[in-house]
């Protein structure tokens, strides 16, 4: 491990700038001190905002509220306040929050990161981020300041006036009374609740609220997760954040919710309360720090290092000996240094499961940095293969031992096969029948014309059904059923019979096929499940065929010549790219991403190894 750290240390590029000479800030007395912002009172809303900064120790801080908000675009015109009689420019969103929270006759103590932390002092930023979990968990209140409801829409649109905020507040109040009843925990009772609110126009206001940029920001997950009772301030209304998330979770659990104008709130529904001792997913499986980082990749942040730093306050990110987070927030480090540190820690604690979260673009895999390090700033797919495939089985009991050798990551695995043909899946909109596949060999030939190599569904099926195209499923599917094997592969459904695959194929060829199915029939339900799998699994991925005729769903950068490999003990295959080498023990590869290989998700590689068809080797990732 020391040799790995020493070797990768050569990639450290960033040096720390000098602290700001801003007269507003004086050095904090210790690492356990932070600043509180005192908003001076005013009886007039239009009066200038005057504030003072108060350095205080965490263990004896006065009662204060922590503000959670969106910084906003730096191109927006700033607003001005005074801090200790010095003019300071702040964002419009923070100005709204301070105006909303200012009291008419007494001081108001708050914490807001943009003002309370000297953002120009890298050392201070790092030390304050390290205690940010304590700042939010110690606050009397965490107030989510969203500003006024948007007036950018026509007045007939929900969310275009203060009525939207009032509608959400009153709806949540009504739903709270219903949801708190013991009988409301029954699924049928919840269905009845949905029927009651289905026609309530106020439900549409929930979509307007959840489309607010605040819900896409990385830092807010920690800010509300550590809060005792986070409150949303929207316009002149105030209501519970956790009640809102509870309502949204319930609404999205029914088909009705699929038609609402709402942002993806998955991470908020699973990580809304960090005080829970053992957070679990919907299936009851315990979450880990890796899961938190992985779920958060679709969120936004200005500094890519914050894709790690923003979540170090979670209890799962703390060392077992209580000495702090597993990696220390240090803004003097480069982004890749930070990603290296957390990847090495996670590989030691969670094993090769970490690789399922690693994604690449052609640009990132060409960089002189180990491909096995997870790039938390690259988020291409909607779901990991391991999340889509029902109960994949490992290739052997136990896990593969990991060996760190300078910049290499080594483990025992079996190379299943080599990719000979690949097609990039390109979807337009949400209609699954609007799917095209691009022959990746055209792209790798260097042709910049986007029209070349673009095929419709039927052309790919014709290729698969040609006599010269290999097929590993000859004993399972008749020649005319290879199309169904293709359908089940791009849906990543190993547990589905061929007949639903045939229905999916018919729908892809003729979109009107779906309208002819009786809603609620077995064929309709099975097709709906396949469509859900396709939408979750195929986004930003590639369909490929191997030399032996296996069908697979791999990362978007997969191309002919790449190999499918199964690490011993892992449940999901990997797509690796061979690296030319003169003398090297085993194979040397770059990691491209995880994969679904049809009929290779239930331990078949182990059985092929026992029969001598496959041979284990030492796989080295560079």
pLDDT of residue 451: 47
Residue 375 and residue 390 share a domain: no
- With residue 26 as reference, give the H or E element that holds it: none
- Within this chain, do residues 234 and 333 fall inside the same structural domain, yes or no? no
How high is the pLDDT of residue 393? Answer: 63
Query: Residue 450: pLDDT above 80?
Result: no
- Which domain-ending residue is among 145, 171, 192? 145
Least confident of 279-288, 485-494, 500-509: 279-288
Phi, psi of 554 (to 5 degrees): -125, -175
Strand spans (E) along 136-229? 141-145
Residues 66-80: tens digit of each pLDDT: 999 998 877 788 999
Same-domain check for residues 286 and 201: no
Closest CA to 376 of 315, 296, 316: 296
Whether the per-residue pLDDT at 251 is higher than 50: the answer is: yes
How many Cα atoms sit within 13 Å of 493 on the Cβ side?
24
With cut-offs at 50, 70 and 90, classify the pLDDT of residue 18: very low
Both 320 and 410 in a single domain? no
Which pLDDT band holds residue 208 (cuts at 50, 70, 90)?
Answer: confident
Q: Does 28 reside within a domain?
A: no
- Enter the tokens of residue 321: 């000996």
User: 33 phi and psi, to 5 degrees?
Assistant: -95, 155
Q: Which of 24, 20, 80, 75 is nearest to 49 (CA)?
A: 80
pLDDT at 535 over 50: yes
* pLDDT above 70: residue 14: no
Residues 399, 351: contact at Cβ < 8 Å?
A: yes
| DSSP-derived secondary structure for 31-58 | TTEEEEEEEPP-S-TTSPPEEEEEEEEG
Q: Would you say residue 528 lies in a domain?
A: yes
The phi, psi pair for 88, rounded to 5°, reads -135, 135
pLDDT in tens, 255-298: 433 333 333 567 888 888 888 767 776 667 788 999 999 999 98
Lowest mean pLDDT among 6-10, 106-110, 222-226, 317-321: 6-10
Residues 213 and 358 in one domain: no
**76 in the same domain as 49:** yes
**Residue 544 near residue 469, CB atoms below 8 Å:** no
Q: Which residue has the higher pLDDT, 13 or 597?
A: 597
Mean pLDDT, the chain, rounded, equals 83
Report the pLDDT value the prediction gives residue 11, as an integer from 0 to 100. Answer: 30
Query: Residue 2 — pLDDT band, cuts 50, 70, 90?
Result: very low
Indicate whether 409 and 536 sit together in one domain. Answer: yes
Mean pLDDT of 150-179: 69
Residue 366 falls inside a structural domain = yes
Per the CB < 8 A criterion, the answer to whether 79 and 91 are in contact is yes
Percent share of the chain, pLDDT over 70: 82
* Mean predicted confidence (pLDDT) in 352-374: 95
Two structure tokens written together for 589: 């590869």
Q: How confident is the model at residue 7 (pLDDT cuts 50, 70, 90)?
A: very low
Ranking 24-38, 80-94, 153-167 by mean pLDDT, the lowest is 153-167
Whether residues 529 and 553 fall in one domain: yes
The confidence score (pLDDT) of residue 524 equals: 84
Same-domain status, 254 and 203: yes
Q: Which of 253, 270, 287 is the last residue of a domain?
A: 270
Q: Residue 191 — very low, low, confident or very high, per pLDDT cuts 50/70/90?
A: low
- Indicate the range of 255-269, 473-487, 580-594 predicted with least confidence: 255-269
Q: Domain tally for the chain?
A: 4
- Name the more confident of 475 and 234: 234
Q: Is residue 27 part of a domain?
A: no
pLDDT value, residue 35: 98
Give the pLDDT score at 359. Answer: 97
Same domain, 216 and 296: no
Q: Which residue has the higher pLDDT, 101 or 454?
A: 101
Confidence band for 185, pLDDT divided at 50, 70 and 90: low
Domain that holds residue 291: 1-16+276-379
10 vs 375: which has the higher pLDDT: 375
Residue 151 lies in a domain: no
Cα–Cα distance for residue pair 409/401, rounded to 1 Å: 10
Handedness of CA 489, 550, 596, 340 (dihedral sign): negative
22 within a domain of the structure (yes/no)? no
Determine, yes or no, domain membership for 430: yes
In a domain, 150, yes or no: no
Q: What is the pTM of this model?
A: 0.85
Q: Are 111 and 101 in contact (CB under 8 A)?
A: no
Q: How many CB atoms lie within 10 A of CB 412?
A: 17
Among 8-17, 125-134, 303-312, the least confident range: 8-17
Helix, strand or coil, per DSSP, at residue 345:
helix
Residue 218 — very low, low, confident or very high, per pLDDT cuts 50/70/90?
A: very high
> Which residue is listed with tokens 């195209």?
469
- Does 397 or 466 have the greater pLDDT score? 466
Domain shared by 365 and 397, yes or no: no
For the chain, give the percent of residues with pLDDT over 90. Answer: 49
Domain boundary among 356, 379, 402: 379
Please report the pLDDT score of residue 10 as a whole number. Answer: 34
Q: Crossing angle of helices 498-509/522-537, nearest 10°?
A: 70
Say whether both 221 and 366 belong to one domain: no
């Amino acid at each position: 491990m020391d040799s790995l750290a020493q070797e990768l240390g050569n990639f450290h590029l960033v040096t720390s700038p000098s602290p700001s000479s801003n007269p507003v800030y004086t050095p904090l007395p210790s690492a356990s001190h932070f600043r509180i912002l005192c908003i001076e009172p005013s009886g007039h809303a239009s009066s200038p905002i005057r504030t003072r900064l108060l350095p205080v120790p965490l263990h004896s801080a006065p009662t204060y509220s922590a503000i959670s908000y969106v910084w906003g675009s730096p191109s927006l015109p700033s607003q001005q306040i005074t801090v200790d009689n010095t003019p300071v420019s702040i964002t419009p969103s923070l100005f709204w929050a301070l105006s909303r929270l200012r009291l008419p006759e007494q001081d108001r103590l708050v914490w807001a990161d943009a003002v309370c932390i000297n953002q120009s002092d890298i050392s201070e930023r790092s030390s304050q981020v390290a205690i940010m979990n304590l700042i939010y968990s110690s606050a009397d209140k965490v107030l989510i300041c969203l500003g006024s409801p948007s007036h950018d829409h026509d007045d007939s649109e929900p969310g275009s006036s203060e009525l939207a905020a009032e509608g959400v507040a009153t709806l949540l109040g009504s739903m709270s009374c219903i949801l708190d009843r013991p009988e409301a925990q029954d699924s049928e009772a919840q269905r009845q609740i949905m029927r009651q609110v289905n026609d309530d126009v106020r439900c549409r206001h929930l979509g307007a609220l959840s489309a607010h940029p605040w819900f896409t920001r990385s830092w807010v997950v920690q800010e509300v997760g550590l809060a005792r009772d986070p409150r949303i301030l929207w316009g002149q209304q105030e209501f519970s954040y956790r009640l809102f998330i509870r309502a949204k979770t319930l609404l999205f659990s029914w088909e009705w919710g699929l038609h609402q104008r709402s942002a993806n709130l998955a991470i908020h529904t699973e990580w809304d309360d960090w005080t829970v001792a053992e957070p679990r997913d919907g299936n009851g499986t315990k979450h880990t720090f890796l899961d938190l980082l992985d779920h958060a990749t679709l969120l936004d942040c200005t500094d890519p290092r914050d894709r790690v730093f923003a979540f170090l306050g979670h209890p799962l990110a703390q060392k077992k000996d209580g000495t702090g987070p597993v990696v220390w927030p240090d803004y003097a480090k480069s982004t890749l240094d930070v990603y290296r540190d957390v990847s090495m820690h996670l590989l030691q604690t969670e094993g090769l499961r970490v690789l399922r979260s690693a994604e690449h673009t052609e640009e990132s895999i060409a960089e002189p940095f180990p491909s096995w390090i997870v790039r938390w700033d690259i988020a291409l797919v909607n779901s990991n293969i391991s999340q889509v495939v029902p109960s994949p089985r490992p290739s052997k009991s136990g896990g593969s031992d990991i060996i760190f050798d300078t910049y290499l990551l080594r483990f025992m695995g079996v190379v299943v096969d080599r990719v000979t043909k690949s097609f990039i899946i390109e979807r337009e909109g949400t209609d699954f029948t609007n799917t095209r596949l691009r022959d990746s060999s055209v792209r790798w030939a260097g042709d910049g014309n986007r029209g070349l190599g673009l095929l419709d569904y039927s052309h790919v099926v014709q290729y698969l059904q040609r006599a010269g195209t290999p097929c590993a499923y000859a004993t399972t599917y008749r020649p005319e059923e290879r199309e169904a094997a293709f359908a089940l592969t791009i849906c990543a459904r190993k547990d589905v019979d061929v007949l639903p695959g045939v229905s999916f194929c018919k729908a892809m060829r003729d979109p009107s096929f779906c309208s002819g199915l009786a809603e609620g029939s077995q064929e309709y339900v099975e097709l709906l499940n396949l469509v859900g799998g396709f939408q979750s699994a195929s986004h930003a991925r590639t369909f490929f065929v191997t030399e032996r005729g296996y069908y697979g769903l791999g990362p978007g950068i997969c191309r002919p010549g790449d190999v499918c490999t199964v690490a011993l003990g892992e449940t999901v295959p990997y797509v690796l790219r061979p690296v030319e080498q003169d003398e090297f023990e085993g194979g040397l590869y770059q990691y491209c991403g995880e994969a679904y290989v049809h009929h290779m998700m239930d331990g078949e590689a182990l059985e092929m190894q026992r029969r001598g068809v496959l041979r284990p080797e030492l796989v080295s990732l560079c």
